[in-house]
């Protein structure tokens, strides 16, 4: 989920005009991430509320979501901020319409006990081995953290490791630190200490998130439908925010989440607690709208990072057309 899988996006080139699906059909894409809106999928609330036939399609990477969006195979879907930035940079006809989750503490830089790294002193990272999946949200935040601390990335041995490789290398003692997400994050935390989280780095100006993107042409033709979808997701988020302690492993919502994407119910409350789920007001006034939309800046910074990594050819001069609070504000009026 977090790795952008951007190599696959290179085949997209500049997107052509998309032919949306028939008006009475909606395809909503999701990924294998624990979040409250999976309850709405389990209960098929989207079909009930929109009066349309809704198909729920599972994707295993953000790159595949964006490719499906470019080809017109999906109208609304979840993707991480890195693949979204790559998609809009390559001309995919889509808009970010909702922040599904601020990654917050769900991704973190952890230093191994006994590695000689002081979690309170970033300079002790110099000369150490740090594992991170390249061209991912954690890679983006690794470089941002080092920049913020005044540590030259060339003075840290940064290794391109996928999460399972990170867990194995950690167990062998081959790496001293890693910036990753669950389940690898949970494993390395057992013998390590968190140095900084993605949430803390986001607060410094470069956010990472999972977002809901919509086919722009379809959205403009079906604004009420999209606002209704957003309202349903917002209601599920509010149900969790209002009483997270009720979302126990054997609770109905957690069981429904697992029924959609599988996994261990015991892990669902743990993972949910790591994320922040912005309110409608925060979406409209901080993330997607307001004087300085956080998501707009995040996409721009991420695109600049991807260009540096040679994963996209150019960075758009203006990301404003790709981020909108229009549908969130419509959904707020439905309350």
- What distance in Å separates the CA atoms of residue 5 and residue 65, rounded to the nearest whole number? 10
Whether 16 shows a pLDDT value over 60: the answer reads no
Q: How confident is the model at residue 14 (pLDDT cuts 50, 70, 90)?
A: very low
- What distance in Å separates the CA atoms of residue 4 and residue 62, rounded to the nearest whole number? 6
6-102+208-332: in CATH 3.40.190.10: yes
Architecture of domain 105-202: 3-Layer(aba) Sandwich (3.40)
- What distance in Å separates the CA atoms of residue 35 and residue 47, rounded to the nearest whole number? 19
Whether 78 shows a pLDDT value over 50: the answer reads yes
Q: Where in the chain is the domain with CATH 3.40.190.10?
A: 6-102+208-332, 105-202
Indicate whether this model's pTM tops 0.75. Answer: yes
What is the structure's pLDDT at 22?
Answer: 43
Q: How confident is the model at residue 205 (pLDDT cuts 50, 70, 90)?
A: confident
Residue among 172, 170, 61, 325 nearest 180 (CA)? 170
Q: How confident is the model at residue 179 (pLDDT cuts 50, 70, 90)?
A: very high
Helices (H) and strands (E) in the chain, counts: 15, 10
Please identify which residue in the block is written with the tokens 């990072």.
305
By percentage, how much of the chain surpasses pLDDT 90? 80
- What distance in Å separates the CA atoms of residue 329 and residue 257, rounded to the nearest whole number? 27
- HSE at residue 137, side-chain half, CA atoms within 13 A, is 33
Residue among 55, 198, 220 nearest 136 (CA)? 198
Average pLDDT over residues 107-122: 97
Average pLDDT over residues 3-25: 46
- What distance in Å separates the CA atoms of residue 233 and residue 228, rounded to the nearest whole number? 9
Furthest-apart CA atoms within the chain: distance in Å? 60
Token duo for residue 217: 């042409």
- What distance in Å separates the CA atoms of residue 63 and residue 231, rounded to the nearest whole number? 26
Residue among 214, 60, 195 nearest 132 (CA)? 195
Whether 176 shows a pLDDT value over 80: the answer reads yes
Please identify which residue in the block is written with the tokens 């690898």.
184
Contacts 24+ apart (CB under 8 A), 71-74: 71/18, 72/18, 72/19, 72/20, 72/21, 72/215, 73/27, 74/27, 74/28, 74/29, 74/215
Distance of CA 95 to the CA centre of its chain: 15
Q: How confident is the model at residue 24 (pLDDT cuts 50, 70, 90)?
A: low
Dihedral (Cα; 181, 183, 162, 277), 10-degree rounding: -30
What is the structure's pLDDT at 318?
Answer: 93
Q: Round the average pLDDT of the chain to a whole number and report it.
A: 91
Please identify which residue in the block is written with the tokens 């979406």.
283
* 3-to-91, 95, 227, 318, 323 alpha-carbon distances in Å: 20, 20, 29, 24, 22
CB distance 186 to 178 below 8 Å:
no
């Amino acid at each position: 989920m977090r790795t952008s899988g951007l190599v696959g996006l290179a085949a997209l080139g500049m997107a052509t005009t998309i032919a949306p699906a028939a008006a009475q059909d909606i395809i909503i894409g999701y990924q294998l991430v624990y979040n409250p809106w999976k309850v709405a999928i389990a209960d098929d609330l989207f079909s009930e509320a929109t009066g349309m036939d809704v198909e729920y399609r599972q994707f295993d990477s953000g790159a595949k979501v964006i490719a499906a969006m470019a080809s017109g195979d999906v109208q609304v879907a979840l993707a991480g901020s890195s693949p979204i930035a790559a998609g809009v940079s390559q001309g995919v006809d889509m808009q970010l319409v909702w922040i599904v989750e601020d990654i917050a503490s769900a991704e973190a830089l952890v230093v191994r006990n006994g590695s000689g790294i002081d979690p309170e002193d970033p300079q002790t990272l110099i000369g150490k081995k740090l594992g991170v999946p390249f061209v991912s949200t954690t890679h983006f935040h690794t470089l941002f953290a080092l920049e913020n601390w005044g540590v030259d990335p060339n003075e840290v041995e940064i290794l391109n490791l996928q999460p399972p490789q990170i867990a194995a290398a950690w167990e062998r003692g081959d790496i001293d630190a890693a910036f990753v997400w669950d389940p690898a994050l949970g494993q390395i935390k057992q013998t390590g200490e968190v140095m900084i989280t993605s949430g803390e780095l986001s607060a410094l100006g470069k956010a990472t998130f999972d977002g809901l993107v919509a086919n722009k042409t379809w959205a403009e033709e079906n604004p009420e439908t999209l606002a209704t979808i957003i309202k349903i997701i917002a209601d599920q988020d509010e149900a969790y925010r209002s009483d997270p302690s009720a979302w126990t492993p054997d609770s109905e919502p957690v069981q429904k989440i697992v029924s959609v994407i599988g996994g261990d119910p015991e892990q669902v409350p743990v993972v949910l607690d790591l994320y922040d789920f912005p309110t409608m007001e925060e979406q409209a006034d901080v993330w997607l709208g307001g004087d300085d939309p956080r998501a707009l800046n995040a996409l721009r910074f991420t695109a600049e990072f991807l260009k540096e990594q040679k994963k996209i050819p150019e960075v758009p001069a203006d990301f404003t057309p790709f981020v909108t609070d229009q549908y969130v504000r419509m959904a707020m009026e439905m309350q």
